[in-house]
Structure 1
Amino acid sequence: MTIIADQNTRELAQADSAKMLIRSKVMKPIRDISIKKPWVLTYYPTLAMAQDANMGYEDFCTFFYESCLRDWSKENVYLTKFANMVTDANVIEVKGYMTELRMSAKGRVFIPCAGTYNMPDGEIFTAPVDDSVEGEVYFNYPLLRQGKMIRDIHLWFIKGKVVKATASENQDFLNKILDTDAGARRLGEFAIGTNKRVQNYMNNVLFDEKMYGTVHMALGEAYEECKGFNKSAIHMDIVKDMTSKGSSVVIDGKVILRDGKIVV
C-alpha cells in the first residue's frame, strides 16, 4: 500500500528534469515487478493538496472522504457492465474543443476500476491499438508533473505516434517527456471517469482522472491486463474536460458520453 501525503506538491519543480527522466528509466524494471503484486495507491489529505484544489482544508477533507466512501461493490457491478459493453471496440471517436481523435481498441479489453488499485476510484480504461490513433486532442485541464505545471497540452497523432505537441507553459519539459523513449509518443491508455463525487479539478491526477464525464489518456506504458503492448518508462495520464457543448465519445457508432454526461 502506498499512501502519499504531500506537504509541498512543487518540491521537485527545480529538479533537473533530465535526471528525473533517467530515474524513470532505471526504475522501470522495479515497477514492472511491483505492479504484478497486490497493491493500492491513495493519499492522506494535506494542506498542500487543499491549496492545489482551491479549497479550505475542512472542505477538502469532506470532499476527499466522500469521493472515497462509495459502495464499491455496487460500483463494480455497474462498471463491469459498462466495460463489457465497450470491450473489443473497433472504433473510438473523441470529439470536443480543438479535438477530433480516432482510435481502435479491437482485441483489447476495457477494465472496470472499483477500488482495487486506487482510492478514490471510478473509471473504465483500455489500451488503444498502438498504431491506430489519428487526429488531434486538446487538454484544457493542466497537468502537474514532477512539480511542474504543463498547461494547454495539444497533441497531434499520425499512425499512433505524437508528431506534434504544444503547451502554453513548460513545453520544453513536455518535449523531454515525449523523448523519453520510443513508447512515450504513443497512447498507452484511454479511459472514461465515472466517480460522481469528484466534480471539480484539483491538480491531482489520481482524483482528476476519476472525475465523472471526463476522459483521460496516458502517454507511454500500456497495461498488460488490457492486452496492451506499448512499452515505455513513463505512464503519463492527462485529463480532458468533456462538458463543452458538442463534446462526445462515440464507440462503434454508439454515443457513450455527450457534453460531460455518460448516456449508457
Structure 2
Amino acid sequence: MIHPLHERYADLLVAYCMDVQPGENVLLNLESPAMALARPLVRAVLARGGVPHLRVSYPELTEDLLACAPEAFFTAEPTLELAEIRHTHAWLRVAAPTNSRALQSADKTKLGKLQTRNRPVQNLRLKTKWCGTLFPTASGAQDAGMSLDDFERFVYDAMFLFDDDPTARWLELREQQAALIERLSRADEVRIIGDGTDLRLRVGGRRWVNSDGRRNMPSGEVFTGPLESSAEGTVTFNVPSTLRGVEVRGVRLQFREGRVVHATAEKGEDLLKAQLGTDEGARYLGELGIGTNSRIQRPIKSILFDEKIGGTVHLALGQAYEETGGTNASAIHWDMICDLRQGGAIYLDGELFQENGVFK
C-alpha cells in the first residue's frame, strides 16, 4: 500500500517540480532507503504520459568507487551516462543518506577526480528539467538533532505538503520572490556585512532566478551568478556544511579580483584546499543566493534545506548556472552559508536591502 503522504510528495515532484509531459523520458535516481517513493513516483510519471526510468543506488556506492576503482576509471569518458542523459527530458534525484560521515576519511584528491569525471554529465543534466530532493531517514534526523517523527514533519512541512494545496503555496512564494528580484535586478553592487564578513560583489547585467521549488524541493531562494572578477573582501561562513559526507566548519575566504587568495577552515580544511585545487574555476564564485523559506528556521546539516533558511545568504564556489548569465566553469559547485539574522546586513548600491534577516 502506498502511504498517502508519499503519494502527495511524488505528485508534487512529478507534476509541479518537473512538469512531466507525455512522451518524456524521466530518469528517477533514488538512493535505496527512499524505495518507498519508487512506486508512487513511477505511477505519477505514467499518469502524466511520461516514460519512467528507475535507477537505484546503494549508500556506499561513492565509497566503493573511491576505494576500488582503478585510476583509469577516473580518466575515462562516462560514455554510458552521457548517452543516457542525452535522451533524458526530466531528471530527479532523491537523496536518502544513511551515514553523513561516510566519506570523512576518503581520499579528497580522488573525490575531486570523480567530480571531474562526472562534469560532462552534470553539464548536460542542467539542461534537463532537473530536481533534487531529500527523503527523511534516521541518519538525517540524527544530524538534525531530532527524532525521526519530528524530522519527517520538518522535512514535509518545508515542502508545504501539509498545506491544503502545496502547489498553490509554491506559486505564492514565487510571487513574493518575484518582488525581491525586481529590486535586485536594478542593483549593480551587492555588499554583505556580518561577523567576520565584508564582501562586495557586482551583479549588474546578470539574471536573478526565482527558485520556487521546480529545481529543488524544498526551495525558497533567489540567486544569480556574480561577475567573475568582482568579489572583493572576506566572508566567514558560520553555518557548517557537509560535502560528500565530510563536515566542514568555520570556512573563511578572502577574495581579490574575484579569486580566492586565502582560505582557512576550523574543520575540514584539507577538503577545502583539495576542492579549491580541483581546477582554476574552483577559486571563483558561481552563485550568490538569498534564502527566503520561512518554514526552515534552523540548519540541519543538509545544504538542500540550510541554504533556503530565511535570513541567510549562500555563495557557491565553482560552476555557474548558465541561466544566470554566469560564465565560471568548474567541476565543483559548493554552496556555503552565512547566517545574517543576528547583526548581518545586505546592501544594494549602498542602500539597505536586508537587516538581521528582514527585508526592508
TM-score (norm 1): 0.97
Residues 146-161 of structure 1 aligned to structure 2 (within 5 Å): 146-161=244-259
Deviations 1:32-65 (A, max 9, x none): 1111011111011000001111111111111111
Q: What secondary structure is seen at the aligned counterpart in 2 of 1:36?
A: coil
Give the superposed CA RMSD: 1.0
Larger RCO of the pair (alpha carbons < 8 Å, separation 6+): 1
- Is 1:210 aligned to 2:300, yes or no? no
- Structure 1: which 4+ aligned runs deviate by more than 3 Å? none
Checking the alignment, whether the CA contact within 8 Å between 1:12 and 1:146 is kept in structure 2 is yes
Partner of 1:260: 357
Structure 2 unmatched runs, 5+: 1-91, 161-165
Number of aligned residue pairs: 262
Partner of 1:15: 106
Partner of 1:54: 145
Q: What secondary structure is seen at the aligned counterpart in 1 of 2:157?
A: helix
Of the two, which has the highest radius of gyration?
A: 2
Checking the alignment, whether the CA contact within 8 Å between 2:297 and 2:309 is kept in structure 1 is yes
Residues 157-172 of structure 1 aligned to structure 2 (within 5 Å): 157-172=255-270
Distance 2:328 2:296 in 1: 30
Q: What secondary structure is seen at the aligned counterpart in 2 of 1:20?
A: helix
Amino acid at match of 1:172: D
- Is 1:250 aligned to 2:347, yes or no? yes
Partner of 2:78: none
Checking the alignment, whether the CA contact within 8 Å between 1:128 and 1:188 is kept in structure 2 is yes
- Is 1:233 aligned to 2:351, yes or no? no
Deviations 1:90-141 (A, max 9, x none): 1100001011000100110111111111000000001000001000000111
Partner of 1:197: 295
**1:88 to partner: Cα distance:** 5.1
Worse overlay, 162-171 or 248-257: 248-257
Distance 2:131 2:186 in 1: 27
Distance 2:135 2:156 in 1: 10
Amino acid at match of 1:22: K
Checking the alignment, whether the CA contact within 8 Å between 1:130 and 1:229 is kept in structure 2 is yes
Match of 1:66 among 148, 157, 162: 157
Checking the alignment, whether the CA contact within 8 Å between 2:100 and 2:246 is kept in structure 1 is no
% identical equivalent positions: 38
- Is 1:35 aligned to 2:132, yes or no? no
- Which protein has the bigger helix share? 2
Q: What secondary structure is seen at the aligned counterpart in 2 of 1:2?
A: strand
Distance 1:253 1:170 in 2: 35
Partner of 2:21: none
Q: What secondary structure is seen at the aligned counterpart in 2 of 1:8?
A: coil
Q: What secondary structure is seen at the aligned counterpart in 1 of 2:130?
A: coil
Match of 1:26 among 100, 110, 117: 117
